[in-house]
A = this chain, B = another copy of it.
């Protein structure tokens, strides 16, 4: 048996992030100011973000140095292992070789600190003392709480209520790292109060929670905003995952035929897949790159590629992306981190350019795949990650039919230790596979801003 885990030394850890904007055949559409309908400039974003991050958002530099202070924190858990799923291959009786990148080894338990640490660093550099953010499943909130604690920045997290109620341990974890965490919609912002007036029992959504955090950042001199996905600089920071994976495959003497990640806002998928997308664009590789979303929130497979707000209260700039409509509130599926109406513009653009495929899957088959993985490999994945596992399993089973020994790689983006209530529901046959809410989406999309 070959090695199960492929490690890199700390000296081999990437010292630069890769910026795919430098290699895109067609540039990204500009971000638009909702008032002027003109492309926005750095100054428009200055109330929200430190200039270091704003410049990364629009940078065309191919490689950007990872600051030493950020590398030092990464070393608490990075480079993360790439693991060959020998036992799962055997259980699936497939000739395919399955590898997974294991991001669950970070202290907050997911890939999210890759960008949280960088964002906290650049905020600290510019003297920021306080950051507000939102979180869905709690992985982003934990990661930012962890990072802010290390750089001595105050942290306030608006957590989507359905996850706040389902996952109390995530809240305590944030509090342990010194952050304040409250359920969203809350009565602490105009955006939150407006939603609660309409629906006092609102389960919340990422779009609403973003509105609340943005409002707090805009209305308080001492506070900036931080986003855990969607934006270009977030995708940039996450490329450390894919860059490590490329080196690990080189050590293993392989190159993946299929590269898979789940998508909510797009960051773990993009971070994992972008270096492989580069190889497709620049070196003409034929890799199949697959993004996987929940059928209950099918942004890419059912959304429109249009300019839309990133949040529900229409306070953000307009972004060209696949969208279900900024006031679409998805059903309370357990993959809370994937319940977002929009998507990273980079991920959308790669899809438009035909560089990636997208699949949507329901909760039950997704958990079924996760269980198959857990029983063979042990490591318990988050429900979000389970979507990638479902696609990897389908691919491996197709290889069983065809006899092909494809190399399949997926990003195991985080552990499910705080999602065991969801596993319990799956085991008790209580999980609902929600039908596609066609009417609700149509209604939300009727409110799209009128910008082409």
Contact = CB atoms under 8 A, between A and B. Distances in A.
Interface of A: 1, 3-5, 7, 9-11, 72, 75-77, 83, 86-87, 105-109, 146, 149-150, 168-169, 172-173, 175-178, 371, 374-375, 377-380, 415, 417-418, 420-421, 423-424, 427
Contact of A417 (B149, B418, B421): B418
Contact of A109 (B371, B417, B421, B424): B417
Contact of A175 (B1, B7, B173, B424): B424
Contacts of A169: 169, 417-418, 420-421
Contacts of A175: 423-424, 427
A173 B380 contact: yes
Given A5-B10, A76-B379, A175-B424, 5 more contacts: A72-B86, A107-B378, A107-B379, A176-B420, A177-B375
Contact of A9 (B7, B105, B420): B7
Nearest to A3: B10
6 contacts: A4-B10, A5-B75, A76-B87, A106-B378, A172-B420, A175-B427
Given A4-B75, A146-B378, A172 B421 contact: yes
Nearest to A107: B378
Given A169-B420, A417-B109, A176 B427 contact: yes
A106 B83 CA distance: 13
A375 B76 contact: no
Contact of A76 (B150, B377, B423): B377
A151 B185 CA distance: 47
Nearest to A68: B1
Contacts of A420: 168-169, 172-173, 176
Contacts of A83: 76
B379 A177 contact: no
Nearest to A370: B176
Contacts of A1: 72
A72 B87 CA distance: 10
A176 B72 contact: no
Contacts of A4: 10, 72, 75-76
